[in-house]
């Protein structure tokens, strides 16, 4: 099983950007942990990040052709991007929305996800473990 982990804007700054809120782990560290766990579970994990909405749309479309599932942290685009929503809706593989923090416990504008209802599920508020939980869901789903 191949899983694509897609990260949106500003997630390349993890470890430096508001570590009190987002933690001190870098994106490359998280990606390494996910690849290692995926390997242990017999899965291939590919990780991509972009700060550009159109590029993220292209990546999600490719994920629908090249993977069996997507773990998506769309960052701020979660709350604003109809284009990402449409890409998720049409990609043809399950997408799990993840967030490091709990958007429901943050500013009002972060409490609305344009993606949640077109995703298989949402995992939020568990720091980098949100990604791990999503990867484990795909593993258990594959096993039946």
The mean of the pLDDT values for the chain is 94
The domain of 39 spans 2-143
Out of 77, 99, 131, 139, pick the active-site residue.
99
Q: Looking at the 3D structure of the chain, how many domains does it have?
A: 1
pLDDT category at 102 given cuts 50, 70, 90 is confident
DSSP string, the chain: -EEEEEE-TTGGGTTTS-HHHH-S--HHHHHHHHHHHHHHTT-EEEEEE-S-HHHHHHHHHHHHHH-SEEEEE-GGGGGT-HHHHHHHHHS-S-EEEEESS-GGGS-GGGG--SSGGGSSEEEESSTTHHHHHHHHHHHHHHH-
Judge whether 99 counts as a catalytic residue: yes
Q: What is the pLDDT at residue 138?
A: 98
Q: What is the pLDDT at residue 142?
A: 87
How much is the pTM? 0.94
pLDDT category at 109 given cuts 50, 70, 90 is confident
Structure tokens given for 12: 């390349």
The tens digit of pLDDT for each residue in 63-94 reads 999 999 999 999 999 999 999 999 999 999 99
Percent of the chain scoring above 70 in pLDDT: 100
Judge whether 77 counts as a catalytic residue: no
Out of 22, 77, 131, 139, pick the active-site residue.
22
| CATH number of the domain to which 125 belongs | 3.40.50.9100
């Amino acid at each position: 099983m191949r899983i694509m982990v897609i990260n949106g804007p500003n997630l390349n700054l993890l470890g430096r950007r508001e570590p009190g809120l987002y933690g001190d782990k870098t994106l490359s560290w998280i990606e390494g942990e996910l690849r290692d766990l995926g390997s242990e579970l017999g899965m291939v994990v590919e990780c991509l990040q972009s700060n550009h909405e159109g590029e993220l749309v292209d990546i999600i479309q490719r994920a629908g052709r090249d993977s069996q599932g997507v773990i998506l942290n769309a960052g701020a685009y979660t709350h604003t991007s109809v284009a990402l929503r449409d890409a998720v809706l049409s990609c043809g593989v399950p997408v799990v929305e993840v967030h490091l923090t709990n958007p429901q416990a943050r500013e009002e504008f972060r409490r609305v996800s344009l993606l949640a209802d077109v995703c298989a599920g949402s995992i939020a508020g568990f720091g980098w473990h949100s990604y791990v939980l999503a990867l484990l869901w795909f593993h258990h789903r594959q096993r039946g």
